[in-house]
Structure 1
């Protein structure tokens, strides 16, 4: 069965033209059959008129000559001049007796029509009907001149005519379809440009534009497409600018919160520990029963300081600016291995020197790694995470090289990092915006059975330019 939902437009239109053409041919064939039937009716009616006039003249001649021995009826002359295959001519008396009859033979070279066509033709046209004309003598009807055509002959002739039309249809229809398909292919050729433009838009190339077309309908589509592409490019640019602004604000808020926690909360915890230690010294001399409470306060303050130290580490990476990207990432991996106690296991491989990269590049790459490790450890349930950082010298990066970051894990396939519904969340979205701000590329792939891989490539020149812009701002 034909799949109309996925069929070619040119083929669909060609098939519709073919169907309409067949209906037109069927209507033409029906028209010719009706006209042929009318022609036959008119011919046998004319023959019946001639036969009746001839018989009336014969009867008048007999009465004028007073010759009762003359042969009547005598249809030889009429039959000789009008006889055709299948045509029958007869005289029928008032009593219903046929006195004389002539019938032409049938053509032997005519193929017999199909039974279905014969039944339909006889039902529609009744080819055996007679043409009857009265024969009058002295004002009284003495009989009838009867003319008819053999139904089998008329049916065979109709089938012969319909067959010729069908032969013409079989020859003309494929040619017509080929011409229509070629014309539609030429007329719809601009739709390929529209499809290619939509494909470019789908891949993120918002600079795609359509040229003007000759057809007004396609030209209107092209104008709307170009307008939507411009609007989409502007909206995406605004969204990227807003997202990057949010990232900057978020980092600033993190730094501010880290300073506040370190300066206020950290000092308060240190003071509590000092007071607990002082209270313990006093309790040793005056009230030994309070030693346990003083030790509990000191332990609680110590635990809170450890928790605060971990929160400060996540809020602000202090080592990136001071130690550089490579050393900061090594410290980050060591911290994850220390806190997770080997489950999962984090590994890192660093190739190349990263001492001269811009500060913004290092900070953004650090945040990307931090987010990816958090997703792999806390959401994907990974048991092994591999981090690879490499500096590549490439001519395509403007001679400044390219930083390639690869993170692979063996987490479950339904993890939030690989789930399409969570894929557009703030985690991966933030990574994409950070990479876009550095002029780089990001690719994330989740395995079918397990594991996921994150690939980030950032040109070093773009990072330096971003750092210059950040300092200028």
Structure 2
């Protein structure tokens, strides 16, 4: 599955607001440009209408005054009132010839528009378009007035208006983004608390609860979160209690089996050894050829008794409550070193005082170490196994490292690891099993200490 890039929600929403704002500014700019173009054409049309009306009055005055001078058309009187920079007035005769034309000059703009804007504006609005009005006197069309504006002047005016909007956008948009980001950061601040709560839940801290929030949506999440945490806490407590009972029953079955083996099978082996010894004495006097068979029976019985002794030790180890956790673990490690005959070297180190550790914690830690050593020696084929047990203010940490095969399936998913997980879960602890940094496997167990346990340890210290 591909990992999609993740973006901060505040940044994403701020960028969307910025994009929408920029689109709104663009729409407003387009509206102003269209409005300005229409206003320019409306002004040209109105000027053309005024000039046409003035010329019609001139022609009517010429016809009513005696000895009229033939100075029609005369644009000078009206030009003095309507001329603006870049404006051109003209009179086109019936034949299409320009009989008179006036154009006012336009100063060079201080900030000329960019060529790209000028080309874009001219392609959309056609600046400099002529506005024409007919001059009609007594039903006869004498010509028409033509009004136009220099395209460069109109484009410069449009750029001036657009520049003002762009300046407003350049100032308002960053300010808007900052305000939106700050508002979102404040509104989404509870999400950090939700994330912290989820991380604590993932770390098995099921006592985590979220406080009330102002937003209704976050309050709904808070209610679901707290209900889920409460349900998980209750379920884990019930599971831990059931696991403790199962472990206690398992230990009781082991003790019962150990007693049965010791009382029945052990006595039978002792009897076999005694009979073999008696048979050897008889054979030495009457049938020397049976001495080797008697010695074989005695050796076999002795080997079976050694095997039985090891099985009894694993089924019912020395009482941790009487010997203490440290002495019991040291004896366990020494036993493994003796049985391995140098093939696997076991070492253990303690950091802290474990004398007053609660019996349940001590017994489970002993069983966890016992299962871990069995996995390392039998399944992973390790030649070196190191154990370290550390007492911390609020927890106990167990670290077991070996140089065996870390990808051995039995070492990761066997019954031994399952039993360790059950015991760790019963103590509300954490267990991790993974490949070591330098090869082999690394087992990490962390058992939290309850408040009463810590007080007992502090009092003993």
Q: The TM-score by the shorter chain falls in which range? A: 0.7 to 0.9
Offset at residue 464 of structure 1 (A) = 12
Once the two structures are superposed, residues 207-235 of structure 1 have per-residue CA deviations (whole angstroms, 9 ceiling, x without a partner) of 22222122111221221221121112112
Give the whole-Å Cα distance in 2 for the aligned partners of 1:423 and 1:416.
Answer: 13
Once the two structures are superposed, residues 133-152 of structure 1 have per-residue CA deviations (whole angstroms, 9 ceiling, x without a partner) of 12223423232211111111
Q: Residue 448 of structure 1 corresponds to which residue in structure 2?
A: 437
- Cα gap change, 1:387 to 1:309, in 2 (>3 Å): same
Give the whole-Å Cα distance in 1 for the aligned partners of 2:40 and 2:448.
Answer: 91
Offset at residue 285 of structure 1 (A) = 9.6
Contact kept? 1:244, 1:433, Cα under 8 Å? no
Aligned pairs (5 A) from 1:58-457: 58-65=58-65, 69-267=69-267, 302-318=302-318, 320=320, 325-347=325-347, 360=360, 362-386=362-386, 408-412=400-404, 414=406, 425-433=417-425, 435-436=427-428, 447-450=436-439, 452=442
Offset at residue 74 of structure 1 (A) = 0.9
Contact kept? 1:382, 1:409, Cα under 8 Å? no
Once the two structures are superposed, residues 340-368 of structure 1 have per-residue CA deviations (whole angstroms, 9 ceiling, x without a partner) of 00221234567999887765555334323
- Cα gap change, 1:221 to 1:330, in 2 (>3 Å): closer
Secondary structure of 1:132's counterpart equals strand
Secondary structure of 2:129's counterpart equals coil
Give the whole-Å Cα distance in 2 for the aligned partners of 1:351 and 1:32.
Answer: 79
- Cα gap change, 1:15 to 1:329, in 2 (>3 Å): closer
Contact kept? 2:83, 2:104, Cα under 8 Å? yes
Secondary structure of 2:109's counterpart equals coil
- Cα gap change, 1:142 to 1:209, in 2 (>3 Å): same
Give the whole-Å Cα distance in 1 for the aligned partners of 2:311 and 2:229.
Answer: 44
> TM-score normalised to the size of structure 1?
0.79
Aligned-CA RMSD value: 4.2
Q: How many residues were matched structurally?
A: 452
Offset at residue 168 of structure 1 (A) = 1.4
Give the whole-Å Cα distance in 1 for the aligned partners of 2:398 and 2:24.
Answer: 68
Contact kept? 2:109, 2:156, Cα under 8 Å? no
Gaps of 5+ in 1: 466-473
Give the whole-Å Cα distance in 1 for the aligned partners of 2:337 and 2:203.
Answer: 39
Q: Residue 470 of structure 1 corresponds to which residue in structure 2?
A: none
- Cα gap change, 1:429 to 1:96, in 2 (>3 Å): same
- Cα gap change, 1:98 to 1:424, in 2 (>3 Å): farther
Give the whole-Å Cα distance in 1 for the aligned partners of 2:159 and 2:314.
Answer: 92
Give the whole-Å Cα distance in 1 for the aligned partners of 2:416 and 2:190.
Answer: 35
Secondary structure of 1:13's counterpart equals helix
Further displaced range: 55-64 or 299-308: 299-308
Once the two structures are superposed, residues 294-313 of structure 1 have per-residue CA deviations (whole angstroms, 9 ceiling, x without a partner) of 77666655544443332222
Contact kept? 1:442, 1:456, Cα under 8 Å? yes
Once the two structures are superposed, residues 50-83 of structure 1 have per-residue CA deviations (whole angstroms, 9 ceiling, x without a partner) of 2222222223333344757411211111211111
Once the two structures are superposed, residues 354-385 of structure 1 have per-residue CA deviations (whole angstroms, 9 ceiling, x without a partner) of 88776555533432331232233334544334
- Cα gap change, 1:464 to 1:211, in 2 (>3 Å): closer
- Cα gap change, 1:424 to 1:200, in 2 (>3 Å): farther
Q: Residue 459 of structure 2 corresponds to which residue in structure 1?
A: none
Offset at residue 19 of structure 1 (A) = 1.6
Gaps of 5+ in 2: 457-461
Once the two structures are superposed, residues 391-437 of structure 1 have per-residue CA deviations (whole angstroms, 9 ceiling, x without a partner) of x8x9x79xxxx9x78665442583679x988899424414524655x
Contact kept? 1:416, 1:423, Cα under 8 Å? no
- Cα gap change, 1:113 to 1:183, in 2 (>3 Å): same
Offset at residue 282 of structure 1 (A) = 8.9
- Cα gap change, 1:311 to 1:47, in 2 (>3 Å): same
> TM-score normalised to the size of structure 2?
0.81
User: Does 1:27 pair with 2:19?
Assistant: no
